[in-house]
Each structure stands twice: as C-alpha cells, then as structure tokens.
Amino acid sequence: MDFNLTTTDEEENFRVKLSAFLDRELTPQICRQHSMDLGLGPEARAFALKLGATGWLGRGWPEKYGGSGGSVIDEYILVQEFARHEAFVPNIVARFMCGPVILRHGSAEMKAAFLPRIASGEIEFSLGYTEPSSGSDLASMRMRAVDDGDSYIMTGQKIFNTQSHFADYHWLAVRTNPDVPRHHGISLFVVDQRAEGITIRPIETLGGERTNEVFYDSVRVPKSRLVGGLNKGFYYMAEALGYERLMLFQAIRLVPPFKRLVAYTKSTMRGGRLLCDNPDVRRHLAQMATEIRIAQALEDRAFALLKKGNPLDHESSLLKLFASSMRQRFVDAALDIMGPAGRLEEDSEGAPLAGEIIKMARASVIDTIGGGTSEILKSLVATRGMGLPR
C-alpha cells in the first residue's frame, strides 16, 4: 500500500525532501495537536512556522503571495505525506479552504494581507458556516450583516466552529441581502476572531475534540474584509467545499493503523489459535484493504482531473461520501476483530493498540456529517454525477 502519484522527477524530489523533513521534525505531541484531537499547542505552532519557512506550506501558490510555485499535484503530495506520517497539515482550514478562495476571488489588498501569512504558517482560520437552524442546508442561514457605511454590523450565531478557540480569523458566511433567492444573498468575510462583540463557548464532542458555538453581538467588520463580490458567498463556499472534501480525506491515513491491526492479529491468540487464522478476521482485513484501495483510486481520479485543468463537480462529493463511511466501517470491523478489549481507552491497562481504535471510532461519528452530510452528498452524486432527476 505504498501510494504515490508523483509523475515527474521534480515532484518526486519534493516528496522525498518533505518526507525526510517530517521524519526529522514531527513528534507524537505535534501529531496530536490539531483540531480533531488536542487542539493547537505551542509545539504545533512552532512546527507550522518551521514548515512555512521551507516554502512548502505555500507549495502550489504563486511566489508573489508567499508560495513556492508548483502545481496542484504538489499540494496533493503535501497532504498525502502528512497523512502517511499520521499528522495533519498545519493551518489546514486557512491553507486548503480559505486561502484558495482568496487567491481566486479576493481583492489585491486581501491577497497581500493574508496569503503570505497563511503560507508562512503564521495564521489559522475557523469556518463560520453552520447555524443551529441550518445544518447542511447552508443556503438557509439567517445570520445578518447590515450595511453601515464603511463597515457591516453583524449579529447572530454560528455553531460547530471547531477551531475558533485558537484561530486568528473567522471565515464567516452571513446573509447580506434577505430580499433575493436565498442562494443569492450570502457573502463571505474575514473577521478577527477576537473582535469586540464576539463570544466563543465550548462544545465537547464524543470524539474528544472541542468545537464551539460563536455569538456575534453587533460586531463591526470593515468592508475591506469582504471576500470577492457581494452576495456571491454561497458559490465561493460550494467551490471551497469541493476542495475541502478532496484535501481532508486521505485513504493513506488508514494504512498505518491497518498495518498495526494486521500485526495484532498475527500475535494475538483467541480460542487456541492466532486471530489471523480466523476466516472472519481474514475477511474483515481483506475488505479493509480493498476499500482503502478504492478510496485511493477515487482520490487519484479527482486529482487527475484537476491536473488536466478540469473543474471538480460530483467527484469530490463521491470521494468524501465513500471515504467517510469507509472509515466508520474500518473501525467497526477493527472493534469486531479485537472483541470487548477493543473498547478500552488509551489510558486503560491492557488496551489493544494503546486504545487507538476506540478513539478512532468515537472520532469517526462526525465523518459522515462534517463537510457535507452523506444524505446531501448522495443527492449531489445522483443528480450531478448520474443525471437523475431531483
């Protein structure tokens, strides 16, 4: 399972250098300091700056905006190598969701203000999309921004904003025109996450990570922080979500725990024989390996389209739909293989594989919700990918 999509000597050279850097610089502590685990800590912040100094965090971006050139395949190599090392790219929301939209649609002032700092690893963003009453139906959001001269006054609430307690900026979607069809009245803004009038409250989750609800009480945001055109935010969000689904779900991330699980079955006895000799266990492992390969094929197809300059439509939705449900099937099968002991947490004596599988199981619940629920994605694949009627 040694996946590798590099197609040129230059791309392979970048992959080798990046892999060596990660081998040298990553620690278990840094690997856990991300939004879905312990949150951003000082070690991860220092690592982000060190990575930014190499120019690799800005790989694929123009040099004038702090990047180091390259192609979309270089960006793919970046996320794949981090996943291979069981880590996450620093500033991942800023780098792969907000930054690309600013690069394509932001003003010259906004590009100069934010892109170099994203590429250097200096700043992070939190997504401000979901509201208590809107869920996956982003077009139904009700939080308002009212024109007030050179600023907008924003009032309302967002929920499940996972990085807001440590992010520097809020990537905020609000309704700027309530009198037009709902998809046409939403705009995107970059808001200082610690601006006066913002309150952040924690929400603890089953997966063990912290997310947040964020309240705006007449927060003043300069018009220069509007991203792209007024009332075009919904289309920018849709564009970014497609890229998000492609960049955040790497099949290769499951390869290391899969290998550890296989090794566990080769060294653990049950009923007088090794687990690996049990036909049901072998069936589970074969299914896992097959599905990881399928997910990788879907990733490769999507990136091949991007490399040819073709836009993604349903392809990223299909990948996210399959990969997120695959991860849930993976942990279910792993727990079935390990039996009752597999439910022991990481700090419990005798926990198989140091409790990593039950931790993955709890964290996987959000997989089929975040980034677009499976129900929504099935509809997109059916209508856009298969041409079925709505």
For the cut 80, the answer to whether the pLDDT of residue 70 exceeds it is no
Top-confidence residue, 300 or 341:
341
Sketch out the chain's domains with CATH numbers: 9-90 (1.10.540.10), 127-231 (2.40.110.10), 249-385 (1.20.140.10)
Q: Which token pair is 139?
A: 């077009």
Q: Which token pair is 64?
A: 């004038």
Q: Per-residue confidence at 194, pLDDT binned at 50, 70, 90?
A: very high
- How much is the pLDDT for 1? 45
pTM: 0.84
Q: Name the residue among 324, 309, 301, 306 with its Cα closest to residue 372.
A: 324
Mean pLDDT (the chain) is 87
* Dist. CA 190–CA 221, nearest whole Å: 8
Q: How many CB atoms lie within 10 A of CB 62?
A: 14
Query: Is residue 91 within 8 Å of residue 40, measured between CB atoms?
Result: no
For the cut 70, the answer to whether the pLDDT of residue 136 exceeds it is no
The arithmetic mean of pLDDT across residues 73-102, rounded, is 88
- Per-residue pLDDT of 224-260, as tens digits, reads 999 999 999 888 888 777 666 677 778 888 999 999 9
Q: Are strands 169-175 and 186-192 parallel, antiparallel or unpaired?
A: antiparallel
- How much is the pLDDT for 327? 92
* Dist. CA 248–CA 323, nearest whole Å: 10
- How much is the pLDDT for 151? 94
Report the DSSP beta bridge partners of residue 125. 169
Determine the Cα angle at 312 with ends 227 and 306, to 5°: 95
